[in-house]
Structure 1
Amino acid sequence: MAEAEPAGFAQTYGVEILYETPLAIDGEELLRAVRVRRPAAQPLGDLGAGGGEVKTLGFVHPDHAVELSGAVIRPQTFLLATDAPLRLTAMMEDHLGQSWSFPDARQAFARRRSSALLTDMMTGSLDYQARIEIFEDVLAAVLQVAPALAIHWWPAGRFVDPAIWLEAYREGGADRLFAGAMNVRFYKISDSPGDMLMDTLGLAALGVRDLQCHFRDLDPSEVATLLANTGCYLFDEGDLIADGHTIEGLTPGSRWMCRHEDSILNPARIVLNVDPGPPHTAAGRADRDQGGGG
């Protein structure tokens, strides 16, 4: 099995926020909105004197400082606005196709005229739950001050409806995770009729294991629920499911075998594969496993 992905403090996490008009935000107004959720937040650089609008804004969060190699690291969040709209790339096309909770994603994307990148820095050494909480608190503040068309949540390979995400943000818990940071993707295997592949995407970007399931003759919506719920468990508890352990399947008394392995789908990462067993193991996977692959 491949080694776990490295987790250095310089790694960043981010989303792209899409707008119908060029974006410029009043820095002081955004700081006030951030401090409603993160009272200790401090501005980095110019907020726009006298209520002026700026294109780049930064905040530091000293209440979550960590010590690393003798230095104190203070997590930071940056918003960088641009008048250039996102280009429609092959990756964007795939993300639009996997945006199950946002049926109007393509229409929103077509209306884009500008975007803003919200990203963090100096956060890789933070506890992942604290890290995403800080990030989402700042995102909620940005959306309050500057309502948007869509969020391109690229670590999760999806586009998100800002109104739906804000509602889930207020609900908290699993709803918040399901609405943004974790996506369940679905693909049919073209060269193996009947085989289907589902995985979660987004957890690995936070240092948590994503999951995958290669199956046939099962209801994809039920498999999606199982993967989402298991992903939520891993987010809450950590990577506690060891190779050879089982989880409850879709029918009472069924047990699905788990094993860490290389992901079938990009991006390349180590995932927790969940195998439903015969007769629902995908033919392609059964053939591969019998041949010693994986």
Structure 2
Amino acid sequence: MSAEVFQQDLKGKSPRPGGPFLIQLLFREPVTMPDKERMIAVMERHVGRVECYSHDKKSAGFSTMEHLGEFKEGKVPVQLIVTACESFQGKGFDPFLTSQMWDCMEERDRILEQCQYQVVAVDMLAASLPALERAQLDMDFLEALAELYPTCEGFYFQNCGKLFSGEQVRSHGLQGSDRFIRFGVNARFFNIQDTEDMIVDTVGMSTLFLPDLQYHFHDMDPNWVVGHAYNLASYILENDNPIQSGETVDGITGGRMSQQVQWLCQYEDALVQPPRGVLDVNMGEYASGGR
């Protein structure tokens, strides 16, 4: 893990809760927009029935007829939009963002240096969908994109800051909501300078109007805590966030003692406030015998 020191920018913009889910597809060479008939066929194979309402040199837009967002005016199909190829500058990525691209460390620099072109894909009008339905739709959209653009070298998920190689996306083998946890949620790790304290937090759950997680701990293996965060995020997504403030969740310390512990949960306001804020998870008393 990097020893570089970063200072949190409290004035910086955070992903807007419920905002568009945005994917940047990265390429070494420019690519053309797939033809309309092929795009419709691939999209329908992955996301269900669609209507293509626009297709030109600038973008392609699809209405998902099986995923309807509810608004005051009535039900409206969620839209999936793909832009034309444009230039991409990987050198413009913030060092803090690249430091948290854990899933693609070996290929990160190569992808960001060699890929000079991008296609942007985004969902629109999806915020009113149930969390699990939207998560599944966005990942079905990802599967369609991976098929439509076989030369894509990297997929960058802007909502959570994750970068994956094209091969990682095409060969993941995951099913259901696990796909969103893999690609749409990032568990970040921080050492608190001049202390023994550490923090693991997640980014990306707020896109679904679900709470992101923040763990405060010390004297534990951070890799275990990261794993626990992903498992808890998956549980929250699958069960529509049943955890109440003041409740506890189970875990194992992962250290030499391998003892059962209870993690106390409470909701806190975030800098950008999704419903119920951030779920703050602190290591409480051991379930057997205390500490």
Q: TM-score range by the shorter chain?
A: 0.7 to 0.9
Instruction: Tell me the secondary structure at the aligned position of residue 155 of structure 1.
Output: coil
Moved over 6 A (4+): 5-8
CA, structure 1 residues 132+180, in 2 after alignment: closer, same or farther (shift >3 Å)? Answer: same
Matched, 1:39 2:41: no
Shift of 1:259: 0.5
Question: Quick check: which one's helix share is greater?
Answer: 1
Stretches of structure 1 that go unaligned for 5 or more consecutive residues are 49-53, 280-294
Q: CA deviation at 1:73?
A: 1.2
Aligned to 2:88: 85
Q: Which residue of 210, 225, 246 maps to 1:244?
A: 246
* Preserved contact between residue 250 and residue 263 of structure 2 (Cα < 8 Å): yes
Q: What's the CA shift for 1:133?
A: 1.9
Give distance in 2, aligned partners of 1:56 and 1:203. 28
> Could you give the per-residue CA deviations for residues 87-136 of structure 1, whole angstroms, max 9, x where no partner exists?
53454x32321121212112111111111111011111111222222222
Q: 2:204 maps to which residue?
A: 202
What are the equivalent positions in structure 2 for 1:56-95 lying under 5 Å apart?
56-89=59-92, 91=94, 93-95=95-97
TM normalised by structure 1 equals 0.81
Matches within 5 A, 1:1-294: 11-27=19-35, 28-46=37-55, 54-89=57-92, 91=94, 93-103=95-105, 104-147=107-150, 148-168=152-172, 170-173=173-176, 175-190=178-193, 192-251=194-253, 252-263=259-270, 270-277=277-284
Distance change >3 Å, CA 278–CA 253, structure 1 → 2: closer
Higher strand share: 2
**Separation of aligned partners in 2, 1:186 and 1:243:** 23
- 1:35 touches 1:41 (CA, 8 Å); kept in 2? yes
Q: Please tell me whether the aligned partners of residues 165 and 179 of structure 1 are also in contact (alpha carbons under 8 angstroms).
A: no
For residues 15 and 218 of structure 1, what CA distance do their matches in structure 2 show?
34
Query: 1:166 and 1:267, CA in 2 relative to 1: closer, same or farther beyond 3 A?
Result: farther
Q: CA RMSD in A?
A: 2.3
Contact 1:25 1:146 in 2 (8 A): no
Percent identical? 23
